[in-house]
Amino acid sequence: MDKRVPEVRLKGFTDDWELRKLGDVAKIVGGGTPNTSNEKFWNGNINWYSPAEIGENSYMVSSKKKITKLGLEKSSAHMLPRDTVLFTSRAGIGNTAILSEPGTTNQGFQSIVPHDGTLDTYFIFSRTNELKRYGEINGAGSTFLEISGKQLSKMIMDFPSIEEQNTIGKLFKKIDKFIDLQQRELDLYKKLRKGLLQKLFPSDGENVPIVRFADFDEDWKKRKLGEIGKTFAGLSGKTKKDFGHGDAKFVTYMNVFSNPISNPNMVESVEIDSKQYQLKYGNILFTTSSETPEEVGMSSIWLEKAENIYLNSFCFGYNLEIPFSPYYWAFMLRSPSIRKKFIILAQGISRYNISKNKVMDMNVPVTKIEEQRNIGELLNNINNIIDLQKGRMGELNLIKKYYLQKLFV
């Protein structure tokens, strides 16, 4: 008989894991809603959670709505102790969070209250994916899937000793803490970038930005794109068989859509074709269509000097004919005031498009090249930090994924 042990074992543990029902190691508790028309049941000091609040945070401290002691007594809601794992049981089965403080839930939960000395809270919380998968497979209902507490309690899982559970739980708690800290830092830099994009470029109707570098005081100029540069088309005359092979590359739609500065790795193969426009350093690329007006005309700047690089057929390119700072243009074209202009140009019903000619008729703010460089370099440095933070987040999530695969049977 095969031993029931995980592929990777933390130091000091050798005993086999044991198959047990979830209901043997925890109490499964449903929720309820006090009568919403009775004011005496609401706006008290008892936390009362709904499924919409679960998913983003590992720990829940305070709910959006609160009920009174009378509301608790007159409903099917139950007071749950701290360290309960909240588990959404309907309309989005399997979102989890841990109670930091005692609280209650509505009927959209079947929460897991670990038995002392038998089940570690963070150990079972770390197995959210397994719980979710079980709930989705075993849920029932004609309008929406829902899993009952009775059914959830029948879930069979492998459990080690409580000491090993505690150790595994602590490891995942540390990993999640690192991920949360990294996410907060990433969110702060994104907020900083968003604020600077609003303040480093003039608002519509203004001649200077709110925030400015020292030694610059001249008014900015408005220039029509069509007066300072020319457009070029993406790939044309191609069929499906031309793609996926060949010694040339083309910049994908998602590359242009996602990145103010084009990612040289987000390219795909195509045959070399001398009839196509080859991208040059400093070319600006625009998406021509999208599913929503807010996503039309997204821009990206190509800063590579490789040969035989083309643009996909769902975008058009633009070549500036005046001295310019690439990073300035990369971020200016994604600033709120310019994005509003693109949204106004969007036309369509199920899918939205922009006219190349109307884009060329658009006025954009232009300042002297020295000020352009300062603005561009600042925003590019922040953008690089954001990319670095995303990379760290990716690494931490890979580490977590590895341990989730290897530390459980």
**143 in the same domain as 70:** yes
The yes-or-no verdict on residue 182 having pLDDT over 70 is yes
At 274, which amino acid appears? S
Q: Is residue 6 part of a domain?
A: no
Which DSSP helix (H) or strand (E) runs through 48?
A: strand 42-49
**174 in the same domain as 62:** no
**259 in the same domain as 183:** no
Transcribe 98-139 into DSSP letters.
EESS-BEE-TTBEEEEEPTTT--HHHHHTTHHHHHHHHHHH-
**341 in the same domain as 372:** no
Q: Is residue 75 part of a domain?
A: yes
- pLDDT of the residue at 158: 97
At 56, which amino acid appears? E
Q: Which of 159, 177, 198 is the last residue of a domain?
A: 159
The yes-or-no verdict on residue 103 having pLDDT over 80 is yes
**189 in the same domain as 145:** no
Region 229-234: mean pLDDT is 97
**361 in the same domain as 227:** yes
Sole residue written with tokens 């999530």: 397
Region 130-156: mean pLDDT is 92
Tokens of 126: 């770390």
- pLDDT of the residue at 218: 94
pLDDT category at 1 given cuts 50, 70, 90 is very low
**306 in the same domain as 346:** yes
Q: Is residue 336 part of a domain?
A: yes
CA pair distance 299, 329, nearest whole angstrom? 9
Single out the residue of 336, 323, 333 nearest to residue 373, CA to CA.
Answer: 323
Look up the domain containing 189 and give its range. Answer: 161-215+367-409
Region 400-408: mean pLDDT is 96
Q: Is 270 exposed, middle or buried (0-12, 13-18, 19+ CB in 10 A)?
A: buried
Which DSSP helix (H) or strand (E) runs through 385?
A: helix 369-406
Instruction: Express each pLDDT in 195-223 by its tens digit.
Output: 999 999 999 889 999 999 999 999 999 99
Q: Is residue 149 part of a domain?
A: yes
End-to-end CA gap in the chain: 15
CATH code, domain with 202: 1.10.287.1120
pTM: 0.84
Please report, rounded to a whole number, the percentage of residues in the chain having pLDDT higher than 90: 92
| Helix runs in 200-286, H state only | 225-228, 253-258
Instruction: Express each pLDDT in 55-102 by its tens digit.
Output: 889 999 999 999 999 999 999 999 999 999 999 998 789 999 999 999
- pLDDT of the residue at 128: 97
CATH code, domain with 354: 3.90.220.20
> For residues 204 and 365, is the Cβ–Cβ distance under 8 A?
no
- pLDDT of the residue at 2: 62
- pLDDT of the residue at 254: 97
Single out the residue of 176, 54, 36, 72 nearest to residue 112, CA to CA.
Answer: 54
Q: Is residue 1 part of a domain?
A: no
Q: Is residue 5 part of a domain?
A: no
**333 in the same domain as 206:** no
Q: Is residue 155 part of a domain?
A: yes
**125 in the same domain as 145:** yes
Q: Is residue 10 part of a domain?
A: no
Q: Which of 111, 137, 159 is the last residue of a domain?
A: 159
**238 in the same domain as 171:** no
**352 in the same domain as 245:** yes
- pLDDT of the residue at 313: 94
Count Cβ neighbours within 10 Å for each residue of 109-123 and write b for 16 or more, e otherwise.
bbbbbbeeeebbbbb
**151 in the same domain as 68:** yes
Structural domain count of the chain = 3
CA pair distance 304, 126, nearest whole angstrom? 43
Region 325-341: mean pLDDT is 97
Region 337-347: mean pLDDT is 94
